[in-house]
Structure 1
Amino acid sequence: MRFSFGQVVIVGAVLAAAPSHAQTFDPRFPVCMHVYSGGSSGGGEWYDCSFASLSQCRGTAAGRAATCDLNPFYPVNAPPPRPRRGRSG
């Protein structure tokens, strides 16, 4: 019993110490710019999902190490939100 409890404690500590990642893509906008930075000096890559169209994103990405992609989490076929009716009271 001690052996399994020790394993649970170790696994719990490892999972608690592991970094968590937020969602990369913002579902409110249909287009994301994938920016490549750093190279051998570090940096990394990141996404900027704040564009309403591909042409807007491409204008911002011009001259940078970046590409524009459609946001895979943008709800294309989502039904429009239902109108909310206020209560009269």
Structure 2
Amino acid sequence: MKIRRAARPVPVRVRPPAPTKSGAFEFRFGYHDDMISVGKSASTTRSGPRPIRNEDIVMRILALAVLAVAMVGKTATAQAQTYDPAYPVCLQIYQGMVDYYFECRYTSIPQCQASASGRAAQCVVNPYYAKPVPRKKRRTSKSH
């Protein structure tokens, strides 16, 4: 069994402070060129791109997930189709100055007007009425 020696301590070089464009002084320590800014913009920066760590990826995924949940929570729910395509006439009923809804269950304007009588309502033609498709006549083959 071999006994390992302890790792040698890494020598630290301290470079003299150099002023930057922002007026801060940068101190560089060690061999990795880590920079610590002191002065007007006192934030820790690095002189080059640092490798992306797993913690960075996890934090980015969590941030995007929170953003996605917030965006979905703020969206308005979609309204259902207002007009029923099975009936040609709709009754538009007013509940207030700008609030109204439609009842599409009338087959004729007179039928709708009878229901609208005495109410804050009006009859409108259903723009989405699906007209019944006429059936094709079947040809019967005649045997001679």
Bin of the TM-score, shorter chain as denominator length: 0.5 to 0.7
Higher helix share: 1
How many residue pairs end up in the alignment? Answer: 77
* Aligned-partner Cα distance in 1 for 2:96–2:133: 41
Moved over 2 A (4+): 8-18, 78-83
Instruction: Report the aligned-residue RMSD.
Output: 3.0
Whole-angstrom distance in 2 between the partners of 1:68 and 1:22: 20
> Taking structure 1 as the reference length, what is the TM-score of the superposition?
0.66
Gaps of at least 5 residues in structure 2 are 1-56, 138-144
Q: Secondary structure at the match of 2:105?
A: strand
Q: Unmatched 5+ residue regions in structure 1?
A: 84-89
Structure 1 or 2, whichever has the larger Rg, is 2
Change over 3 Å in CA distance of 1:24–1:82 after alignment to 2? farther
Q: What TM-score results when the alignment is normalised by the length of structure 2?
A: 0.43
Which residue pairs with 1:28 in the alignment?
86
Residue 62 of structure 1 is matched in structure 2 by 117
Instruction: Using CA pairs under 8 Å that are at least 6 residues apart, name the structure with larger relative contact order, 1 or 2.
Output: 1
Which of 13, 16, 19 is 2:77 aligned to?
A: 19
